[in-house]
Amino acid sequence: MNITLKSLGQSIRSFAKDEEGAQVVEYALIIAVVSIALVVALQQLTAAGGGFSAFITRVTNCLTNGTCAAAPAAGG
């Protein structure tokens, strides 16, 4: 019985010292913040010209033809 309690105590101590889970949580938080920033940035880029497909069309035209027209002004 005493050996079992010692083994259980050692297992609990080693579990409490383990810090690998904290790193995973930190990386998950970083990924979440970057994802939110990308979503906000894409909303701002696509709001002016008719949605995401229009944004992709403008980028494609700019890269292939060199016709980089400015996005139309919002609200008009």
| Residue % of the chain over a pLDDT of 70 | 74
Look at residue 35 and give its three-state secondary structure: helix
Q: 7 pLDDT band (50/70/90 cuts)?
A: confident
Confidence of residue 76 (pLDDT cuts 50, 70, 90): very low
**C-alpha count within 13 angstroms, C-beta hemisphere, residue 59:** 9
Q: Which distant-in-sequence residues (6+ apart) come within 8 Å of 49 by Cβ?
A: 55, 58, 71, 72
- The pLDDT assigned to 34 comes to 96
First vs last Cα of the chain: how many Å apart?
Answer: 80
Binning pLDDT at 50, 70 and 90, where does residue 69 land? low
Put simply, whether the predicted model's pTM sits higher than 0.85 gets the answer: no
